[in-house]
């Protein structure tokens, strides 16, 4: 863990290698991907995204689970629950700081018991880990791709180990010495102002939200005067925990929404749920957010940030005096609780390696001006503007994906156009979001039962949708096609409709990576509203279809095979109807 020491605790890093699809392994310079997502290298969501990424067509992708992130040995679940309680219960600074110090110290003691020293969680140490992995794999040259918080790790690799690095992509980078804790609140309100600009042109946004800044301000003010309680369960056998949502907890809940365009459609639901005191919906959101937060990951972020001058104490104190219900003083309290040494100034990274900088305008933690600061000392850098996105676009947006692939193929060629060509409208129709959250919660609590039932239904629908036309063709050849002709088309159309509805919901859950429940679960495809309506249509028609199948049996319109297939369609429809009614899709 400490390379300067000859003996002591060791560290195991998880590494996943995705071999190139259309080129021999090792034929092109591989890409080392660094990400700060929970369970990064072992997390199915990021693995699926990169497995299908255009970059993988040409070259291998190596994912490295950095120290302090991902699949770690230690857990501070009890302290994590207490931390959320502090965020939710305390508005005034003094009790908040006192409680926070105790929580963090208990967690650090637990981590220390299993050999984890938070003093070893530094950018230089993480950069050394990347170099160690490169040497272990015997790869002479690499491309680097840093995502989010870990883009700073990529910068540190450029500083400390420049020779093996051929080209670098930095998505949502923060420059050394950036006062990102101080800037967070300002960036958050700047992002809300951009949402307001969208609402002036998007009818769905204006109808659902009106003014984002005004709606958030009004909801926060209401919580200052009247916080409201809710409960969440941390698992099927765990006792529910009671929380009280106030303005501070509300701001914490909103933190991720503006910086990812896939999460923005949830903003009206969050604000509406707070304004209307929908305890169940808020509980589901907080539960998913809580599940994605690692106390070790939190300690990692702050250990690094506090030692890397992530804040200015005087600025934060002044901000707290002016805005006591927003994040300000808590950053100082965390740094003090962690016992991090006084911050040391890290000079800018100076490099001549070709670098592509991607900083979305909606980002709270790494706005475009941060990318501009980093670019000042990178002599061969270029910038990819993202006026309508936040963090992670190089993984999720088709235009940015194509730019990254083209850059790694030839880093000397400038990007030909900004990524505004694939701008998509923001869809703020979230009528079905509470229902999908309930489904996601059950999927997390009972994955075998839910997934088993879903797979069984999917297999039944696929066999029915494929078998029905084949059976009809056989009966046409036997001269029996005209018997129950109208019912044949109705049942076949219903099977196709049910299959599309189920596939739409499955695609939404698949894209969000339910194996790692988090706020990203909100990032459903923009067209989920129509999919929900389709599911409703399937549920409403289930009983008439079942009656029609019963009539087919009574009058023997079809051969036995045809009647059995029709029965399978009816059964699947009734099951989907039961799910729709059970989760309140009506």
What are the beta bridge partners of residue 15? 64
CA distance 506 to 514: 11
Q: What is the pLDDT of residue 376?
A: 95
Spatial contact of 12 and 64, defined as CB atoms under 8 Å apart: no
CA distance 85 to 249: 9
Q: What is the pLDDT of residue 483?
A: 75
Task: Calculate mean pLDDT across residues 153-175.
Answer: 95
Task: Calculate mean pLDDT across residues 410-425.
Answer: 68
Q: What is the pLDDT of residue 372?
A: 92
Banded pLDDT at 496 (limits 50, 70, 90): confident
Q: What is the pLDDT of residue 160?
A: 95
336: which residues sit within 8 A by CB, 6+ positions away? 97, 101
Task: Calculate mean pLDDT across residues 88-108.
Answer: 60
* Higher per-residue pLDDT: 456 or 161: 161
Highest-scoring range by mean pLDDT, 17-31, 141-155, 327-341, 447-461: 141-155
How far, CA to CA in Å, does 163 sit from each of 62, 124, 142? 18, 16, 10
Whether 36 has a pLDDT exceeding 50, the answer reads yes
Whether 583 has a pLDDT exceeding 70, the answer reads no
Lowest pLDDT segment from 178-182, 230-234, 497-501: 230-234
Q: What is the average pLDDT value for the chain, to the nearest integer? A: 74
Alpha helix segments (H runs only) across 114-211 = 123-137, 151-160, 180-199, 203-208
Lowest pLDDT segment from 3-7, 116-120, 202-206, 213-217: 3-7
Extended beta strands in 213-253, E state: 228-232, 241-245
How far, CA to CA in Å, does 443 sit from each of 86, 265, 440, 515, 516? 28, 22, 5, 9, 11
Instruction: Tell me, yes or no, if the pTM score tops 0.75.
Output: no
CA distance 373 to 375: 5
pLDDT digits (tens, 9 = 90+) for 343-386: 667 789 999 999 999 988 888 778 888 999 999 999 999 998 88
Spatial contact of 387 and 361, defined as CB atoms under 8 Å apart: yes
3-state secondary structure of 102: helix
Spatial contact of 34 and 144, defined as CB atoms under 8 Å apart: yes
What are the beta bridge partners of residue 61? 18, 31
Domain map of the chain by residue range? 15-72+117-178+345-409, 77-115+179-308+310-337, 433-582
Assess if CATH 3.40.50.1820 describes domain 15-72+117-178+345-409: yes
Q: What is the pLDDT of residue 217?
A: 83
Banded pLDDT at 446 (limits 50, 70, 90): low
CA distance 82 to 84: 5
Whether 570 has a pLDDT exceeding 70, the answer reads yes
Task: Calculate mean pLDDT across residues 204-233.
Answer: 77
Banded pLDDT at 422 (limits 50, 70, 90): very low
pLDDT digits (tens, 9 = 90+) for 108-129: 777 777 677 767 777 888 899 9
Q: What is the pLDDT of residue 511?
A: 45
79: which residues sit within 8 A by CB, 6+ positions away? 103, 104, 106, 107, 110, 295
CA distance 508 to 279: 24
Spatial contact of 47 and 18, defined as CB atoms under 8 Å apart: yes
Banded pLDDT at 93 (limits 50, 70, 90): very low
Highest-scoring range by mean pLDDT, 138-152, 224-238, 420-434: 138-152
How far, CA to CA in Å, does 288 sit from each of 279, 284, 430? 14, 6, 17
Neighbours of 497 (CB within 10 A): 18
Whether 299 has a pLDDT exceeding 60, the answer reads no
Banded pLDDT at 474 (limits 50, 70, 90): confident
Q: What is the pLDDT of residue 161?
A: 97
pLDDT digits (tens, 9 = 90+) for 508-563: 554 443 333 333 333 333 334 555 667 778 888 888 989 998 998 988 888 888 88
The secondary structure of 304-373 as a DSSP string is HHHHTT---HHHHHHHHHH-TTSSSHHHHHHHHHHTPPPP---PPP-B-S-EEEEEETT-SSS-HHHHHH
Neighbours of 405 (CB within 10 A): 18
Q: What is the pLDDT of residue 524?
A: 38
């Amino acid at each position: 863990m400490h390379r300067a020491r000859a003996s002591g605790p060791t560290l195991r890093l998880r590494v996943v290698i995705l071999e190139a699809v259309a080129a021999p392994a090792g034929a092109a310079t591989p890409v080392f991907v660094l990400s700060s997502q929970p369970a990064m290298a072992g997390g199915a969501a990021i693995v699926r995204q990169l497995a299908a990424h255009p970059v993988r067509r040409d070259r291998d992708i190596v994912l490295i689970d950095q120290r302090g992130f991902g699949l770690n040995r230690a857990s501070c679940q009890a302290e994590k629950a207490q931390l959320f309680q502090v965020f939710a219960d305390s508005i005034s600074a003094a009790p908040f700081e006192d409680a926070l110090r105790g929580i963090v110290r208990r967690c650090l003691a637990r981590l220390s018991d299993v050999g984890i020293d938070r003093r070893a969680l530094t950018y230089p140490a993480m950069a050394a880990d990347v170099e160690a992995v490169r040497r272990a794999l015997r790869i002479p040259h690499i491309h680097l791709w840093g995502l989010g918080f870990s883009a700073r790790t990529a910068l540190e690799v450029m500083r400390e180990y420049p020779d093996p690095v051929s080209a670098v992509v930095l998505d949502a980078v923060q420059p050394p010495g950036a006062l990102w804790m101080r800037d967070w609140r300002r960036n958050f309100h700047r992002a809300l102002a951009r949402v307001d600009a969208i609402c002036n042109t998007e009818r769905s946004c204006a109808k659902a939200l009106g003014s984002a800044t005004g709606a958030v301000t009004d909801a926060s003010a209401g919580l200052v005067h009247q916080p409201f309680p809710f409960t969440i369960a941390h698992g099927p056998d765990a006792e529910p925990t009671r929380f009280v949502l106030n303005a501070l907890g509300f701001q914490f809940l909103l933190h991720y929404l503006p910086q990812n365009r896939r999460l923005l459609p949830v903003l009206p639901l969050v604000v509406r749920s707070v304004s209307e005191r929908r305890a169940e919906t808020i509980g589901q959101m907080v539960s998913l957010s809580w599940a994605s937060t690692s106390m070790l990951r939190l300690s990692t972020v702050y250990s690094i940030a506090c030692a890397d001058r992530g804040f200015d104490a005087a600025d934060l104190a002044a901000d707290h005096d002016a805005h006591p219900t927003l994040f300000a003083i808590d950053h100082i309290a965390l740094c003090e609780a962690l016992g991090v040494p006084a911050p040391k100034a890290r000079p800018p990274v100076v490099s001549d390696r070709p670098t592509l900088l991607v900083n979305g305008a909606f980002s709270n933690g790494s706005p475009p001006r941060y990318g501009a600061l980093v670019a000042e000392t990178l002599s061969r850098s270029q910038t990819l503007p993202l006026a309508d996105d936040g963090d992670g676009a190089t993984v999720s947006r088709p235009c940015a994906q194509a730019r990254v692939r083209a850059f790694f193929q030839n880093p000397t060629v400038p990007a030909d156009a900004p990524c505004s060509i694939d701008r998509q409208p923001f869809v703020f129709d979230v009528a079905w979001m509470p229902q999908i959250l309930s489904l996601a919660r059950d999927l997390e609590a009972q994955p075998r039962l839910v997934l088993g039932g879903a797979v069984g239904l999917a297999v039944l629908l696929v066999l029915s949708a494929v078998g029905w036309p084949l059976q009809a063709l056989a009966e046409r050849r036997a001269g029996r096609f005209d018997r129950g002709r109208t019912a044949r088309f109705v049942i076949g159309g219903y099977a196709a409709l049910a299959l599309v509805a189920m596939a739409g919901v499955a695609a939404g859950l698949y894209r969000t990576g339910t194996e790692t429940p988090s706020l990203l679960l909100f990032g459903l495809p923009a067209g989920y509203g129509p999919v929900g309506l389709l599911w409703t249509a399937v549920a409403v028609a289930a009983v008439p279809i079942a009656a029609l199948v019963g009539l087919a049996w009574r009058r023997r319109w079809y051969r036995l095979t045809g009647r059995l297939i029709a029965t399978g369609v009816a059964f699947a429809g009734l099951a989907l109807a039961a799910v729709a009614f059970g989760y309140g899709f009506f």
